[in-house]
Structure 1
Amino acid sequence: MIQTLSYFTIQSNILVLIVAVTLVADPGRDGRIWRILRLDALLGIVITGLVFDLVLIDYVHPSGWQLVATIGFHYIAPWATLLGWLLFGPRPRIDRSTMAWAFLWPFAWIVYTFLRGALVGWYPYPFLDVAEIGYARSIASTAIILGVAVVLVLIFKAIDGAQARTASRP
C-alpha cells in the first residue's frame, strides 16, 4: 500500500478526486488551502500526463485492467481535469502566494521519494532510480520536470487572470 501511494500519479489523481468532489458540492469554492489544493491537483495531474506521454510510455506495457487504469490515470484524468479547469474555473484563484505554496507538495514528494529510495532501494519511476542511473541523472531529471512545472504554473496563472478579466467585463 505504501508503495502504491508513493507514486506521484496516484497522489495527483487522489488530489483531482478531492478537488472535483468539493467543486461538485460547491462550484464557487474558495479559500487559501483550497486554492493551493486546486493548483496542486491541476499541476500534478498535467505533469502526470506529460511525463507519462513523453518519458514513461516506453517503460510500461499494460494489459487488461492495468491498461484500463493506465488510460484513466494518464490520459483521461489529466486532460479532462485541464479541460474542466479551462472551461469552468472557478477563477480567479491563482495568485503568487498560491503559486509558491503549490510547490510544497511536489518538493515534499521529491524529498520523500529520494529518502525512501535510499532506505528501501525502490524508486517509483525509472528516471529517478538512483541505483540504475545515478544521482546526477536522477536529480537532472527532477530538475527538468520542476522546470516544466514552473512554466505550467506561470501559464495557468496567465490563463486564470485573463479568463477572470474576460468574465468580469460587462
Structure 2
Amino acid sequence: MSSIRTAKLKRIAAACLALLGWAALVLQYVLLLQNTNAPGLSMVEGTIRFFSFFTIQSNILVALVLTAFAIKSGPDEWLVHPFVRSAVAVYIAMVGIVYFAVLRQLWAPQGAQWVADVVLHYVMPIFYLAFWLTCVRKAGLRWYDPLLWLIYPLFYLGFILVRGKLAGFYPYPFVDAGTLGYAKVAFNTLGLLIVCAALGTVFVVVGWWLSRRQKP
C-alpha cells in the first residue's frame, strides 16, 4: 500500500473518530441539560457544569486534534510538534483509567446515557491512544514534558475547587471539598498528579522508542 493511500486512510479514520467524539459530546450535553432542568437549574449553570468535567474537556481536545489531523494535508501534518498531541493522549488516558478504577462503580447509566458514557470514557480513550501510536510523530518529546503536562490538570483542579466553593458543585466525588475537606482533596489530588506524571513518563519513553523505528 502506497504512503499516500495510507495517509489518506489515516485521515479518514481520524475524521470518523472525530465525528463520533463530537456526536457523543453533543449527546452528553443534551442529557446533562435535561437532568439539570429537574432541580430547576438554569441552562447557563448546566452548561458551566458540563464544561467543568475533565472528561468533557479532554474529549473536546481529542476531537479537536483528530479534526485537525483529518483536514490538514499530509506534508504539513508531520510538521506539528508531538508535544500537544501526546499531552492530549495522557489526559484522555487518565479519563479512562480514573473512570474504570474509581467512578464506574458509582452509577449505572442506561439508554442514551450509557451510549455517551461508553464512548466518552472507553471508546475515545482507546482509539485516540491507537491514533497516537500509529499516526503521531514521536520525535521531539523531552524528558521533562510530563511535568509541563501537569500544568493543565493543576489549573483545572484549581478552577473546580474555587467554583465548588462558590457554587457548591464539584464534578467528581474525590475532589468534593465540601464533603471530604481540603486535606483529603489535597491527598487525592496528589495521587492523581503522580499517576498523571508517571503515565506521561511512559508515553515519553514509548515515544522515544517508536521514534527510533520511524523513518526520519
TM-score (norm 2): 0.72
Cα offsets for 1:108-154 (capped at 9, x unmatched): 10110111111111100011111122212211111111100000110
Residues 12 and 45 in structure 1, CA contact (< 8 A), matched pair in contact too: yes
* Pair 1:23 & 2:69 matched: yes
Structure 2 counterpart SS, 1:151: helix
Distance (Å, rounded) in 2 between the aligned partners of 1:18 and 1:83: 16
Q: Where in structure 1 are there 5+ consecutive unaligned residues?
A: none
Distance (Å, rounded) in 1 between the aligned partners of 2:78 and 2:90: 20
User: Which residue type is aligned with residue 115 of structure 1?
Assistant: V
How big is the shift at 1:3? 0.6
- Percent sequence identity is 30
What CA RMSD, in Å, does the superposition of the two structures yield over aligned residues?
A: 1.7
From the CA coordinates, give the structure whose radius of gyration is larger.
Answer: 2
Residues 46 and 78 in structure 1, CA contact (< 8 A), matched pair in contact too: yes
Q: Which residue of 1 aligns with 2:48?
A: 2
How big is the shift at 1:38? 1.3
Q: Which residue of 1 aligns with 2:176?
A: 129
* Pair 1:11 & 2:57 matched: yes
Q: Where in structure 2 are there 5+ consecutive unaligned residues?
A: 1-46
Structure 2 counterpart SS, 1:57: helix
Structure 1 counterpart SS, 2:214: helix
Q: Which residue of 2 aligns with 1:70?
A: 117
1:2-151 matched pairs, under 5 angstroms: 2-26=48-72, 27-31=77-81, 35-96=82-143, 98-151=145-198
Range with bigger deviation, 44-53 or 77-86: 77-86
Residues 4 and 10 in structure 1, CA contact (< 8 A), matched pair in contact too: yes
